[in-house]
Amino acid sequence: DFGGFFRDETFRDTFTYRNSDPRRFPFPFDRDDYMYAVNLEPHMPGRKGTAFEHMLDVDEHYIAEMIDRAKVLAEDPLRCQSLPHMTLAGWDTLELIMEAKARDYPQWFSLTRDGNRWHWVNRPLGIEQSFTFLDESTLPYPPFEYIMRQTQGDWTLQDERDGTLWMDAGIATSQADWSVDFDVGMNFHEWHAPVPLAHEKGVFDRALKFLLKLQHGAPVRRFNWTMTVNPLLDTAPETYHKWGPMRTTLTQENMGQKMHLRVELQSLYRLPRSNAIAFDIRCYLCSFEQIVTVPKWARRLHRVIRDLPEELATYKGFIRNRDAMVEWLSKCDDGAPTSPGW
């Protein structure tokens, strides 16, 4: 039964995206203010009914997100790239994802293996595929693209060389204004160059040091967040002319429906054969209207946005709307203290 999936919801044009239960949303703030930090923690399965219940969350938006991804790739094939030496890391990633989905969602996915002869079934997307592991000619796409067309979240694959990480493969169709085509072949400090304040605080030096020690079988995760006007998955630099102007359409009347908190649940995995690191950036959107149905989230979001350093509000692209957002959110903040933690 695939009745739980919103097959027809849209992240463009008609924007029918919605969450049936906002409490499932991974609210990212554990205090009333926010600053960049090396916020990495073990990626352990969490409470039932949350986005952390399983290693890779498959939620009600799965089918609709995969339809949206296919549209983006049809318009712009450069959204998915893999340099020639990353094919093995692509197979590692395919294995990681197929194993996790078949283990955690056996009602939807199954993987049967007989040596290198594998059989994969993806029931929600109606896919059945027999193939030979590590033989590209037996799949309709290269291994990375094949599995990415069946996986929510943008992913990048990092090769480790010369004491740093190189983004040598990636797909981005649900990104917060960055580009695989621009970043591919860059190293950890290069692709992070546009981020304000974090370099001088040593955040990227410490984060890289931590990642270079990442072990197979011990994934880690962190949150990132930004704001998006309308539930757009694909906010790419390549299509800025289409979605950028939407930022000028906000009023106090439409703020609740149009403004979305965009949360990225990012997880990192050391891959076994290639020794590459896979980075999953999973995007969750929730309208202000739905967020403020949880009173402690309403209070906290108001305070975080009100007090966020100007450099961060500018980088995240909402400085022009910040005052209007704070005005709207202030009506949902009764001034009561909040407790630290989620």
The Cα–Cα gap between 63 and 125 comes to 7
Closer to ligand HEM by Cβ: residue 139 or 277: 277
Least distance CB 86 / ligand HEM (angstroms):
13
Secondary structure (H, E, C), 169-223: EEECCCCECCCHHHHCCCEHHHHCCCCCCCCCCCHHHHHHHHHHCCCCCCCEEEE
Hey, what are 265's tokens? 């649940």
- Rounded to the nearest whole angstrom, what is the least distance from the CB of residue 237 to ligand HEM in the complex? 8
Residue 104 or residue 183: which is nearer to ligand HEM going by CB? Answer: 183
Give one word for 271, left, alpha or beta, with left for phi > 0 and alpha for psi -120 to 50: beta
Least separation in angstroms between CB 216 and ligand HEM: 15
Q: How far is the CB of 204 from ligand HEM (least distance, A)?
A: 7
**Active-site residue numbers?**
222
Contacts with ligand HEM by CB under 6 A lie at 36, 38, 40, 156, 158, 165, 167, 176, 178, 183, 191-192, 194-195, 198, 203, 207, 211, 222, 224, 226, 277, 279, 315-316
CB of 16 to ligand HEM, least distance (A): 26
In the bound state with ligand HEM, the residue whose beta carbon lies nearer, of 5 and 225, is: 225
Q: Which is nearer to ligand HEM, 52 or 315 (CB)?
A: 315
- Looking up tokens 């995760």 gives 221
Tell me whether residue 157 or residue 291 sits nearer to ligand HEM (CB atom): 157
How far apart are the C-alpha atoms of 56 and 52, rounded to whole Å?
A: 8
Name the E strands within the chain.
Answer: 41-42, 80-82, 109-114, 117-122, 127-132, 154-161, 164-171, 220-229, 259-270, 277-287
Q: How many contiguous H segments (helices) and E segments (strands) does the chain have?
A: 12, 10
Gap between the terminal Cα atoms of the chain = 33
